[in-house]
Structure 1
């Protein structure tokens, strides 16, 4: 039996200038944690980790701030859902310009495809394939992934056998931790154990001004 311990972290919160817009596979600025908070978060993570990050800067930069002593392995399979032609645009602007397409997407956000983009159901498939591959490569090392809300939801879908509609309902806050164990049995069967979902990490509110 081989157990791979997965630590899923959503990246730092979006900067004020990015709020109200759709940010998937495109870049967006974030407010990175101050050094003292970053150090406290890092202490909640395991030693001897394999550090992995989405290719997007908001995930890579968060990983670098948390563990500046490590170089994250960049995994394209853990990029956020691609919203195509809607990337970076304000919700109200899209709704006004494309009311039918916007309404149709939000009626079935787990399976509908935004124009030129990717379905959330497809995100689940690519995340699952990447989890299986890295689990085989990690050996006994715990895997810490800094990625996105959609990616963490997809990991929960794989572990719990959820439909896209069920898993998309999870709340995944910035700088929260979701812990999942992947258990590879000797006969080839794979079992899962979910320890925690969306657990807040240290706030740093007691930092000196």
Structure 2
């Protein structure tokens, strides 16, 4: 059975939408990084999105694990013109769309960005491709809040609205078993 260990990258300290903008992660809490690395299976393969915050987090926890090439399909949601804008400003500029984007996620799309459904489909294709190449393995995937939630949604069969109730902290582990449709843990901080 393939087991996915989804890791949210280290904190970015951003106070605005942060999607495809390439911002660094704060990995200065060496104790938290070490506990995370210790918690994960040593025989796993490691993959990350190609954004710096995920790449650097993956490097910090890799140790002797096999590293796969960074995958742009594991990027955070593409927020388009909302990226880098504070949430309150987005709500002021696009009150109906911003509310619908979070309250009834699905096909609502930020200007120049992608909808929840489009992002979930992008990530699902990547997961199938990665899993096909590493069937029966432990896969550590360092990614982003939205990406991880799409996988919780897919594995547990939740609606997008329901899955948004889950918290996904920086440097947390969400361990999923897609074949059995179960989550061993969600948002675990070792």
CA drift of 1:200 comes to 1.4
CA distance in structure 2 between the partners assigned to 1:38 and 1:105 by the alignment: 33
Following superposition, the deviation at residue 9 of structure 1 comes to 0.7
Listed as ranges, the gaps of 5+ residues in structure 1 are 184-190, 202-209
Within 1, Cα distance between the matches of 2:135 and 2:156?
Answer: 23
- Mapped partners of 1:51, 1:65: distance in 2: 11
Alignment of 1:28 onto 2:23: yes
Counterpart in 1 of 2:46? 51
1:196 equivalent in structure 2: 185
Whether the aligned pair in 1 keeps the contact of 2:97 and 2:108 (CA below 8 Å) is no
Q: Secondary structure at the match of 1:95?
A: helix
Alpha-carbon distance change, 106 to 141 in structure 1, aligned in 2, over 3 angstroms: closer
Equivalent position of 1:114 in the other structure: 110
Deviation at 1:28, TM superposition (A): 2.4
- Inter-partner Cα distance in structure 1 for 2:132 and 2:151: 16
Per-residue deviation, residues 46-84 of structure 1 (Å, max 9, x unmatched)? 012110101111111111112255544311221110000
**Residue among 165, 168, 175 paired with 1:179:** 175
In structure 2, the CA distance between the partners of 1:33 and 1:69, relative to structure 1 (3 Å rule), is: farther
CA change 1:39–1:179 in 2 (3 A) is same
Whether 1:14 and 2:12 are equivalent positions in the alignment is yes
Query: What is the SS of the residue equivalent to 2:11?
Result: coil
Q: What are the superposed Cα offsets for residues 111-168 of structure 1, whole Å, 9 maximum, x if unpaired? A: 3100110001112112222222211101332100110110111001111122222223
| 5+ residue gaps, structure 2 | none
- Give the paired residue count: 189
Indicate conservation of the 8 Å contact 2:101/2:109, yes or no. yes
Relative to structure 2, which stretch is displaced further, 164-173 or 93-102?
93-102
1:54-69 aligned within 5 A: 54-67=49-62, 69=64
Find the counterpart in structure 2 of residue 153 from structure 1: 149
**Counterparts of residues 113-152 of structure 1 (less than 5 Å):** 113-152=109-148
Give the C-alpha shift of residue 91 in structure 1: 2.1
Contact 1:54–1:147 (Cα < 8 Å) also in 2: yes
2:44–2:140: 8 Å Cα contact kept in structure 1? yes
Question: TM-score under structure 1 normalisation?
Answer: 0.81
TM-score (norm 2): 0.88
Pick from 77, 82, 95 the counterpart of residue 73 of structure 2: 77
Structure-2 change in CA distance of 1:166 and 1:104 (3 Å): closer
Q: What's the Cα RMSD here?
A: 2.0
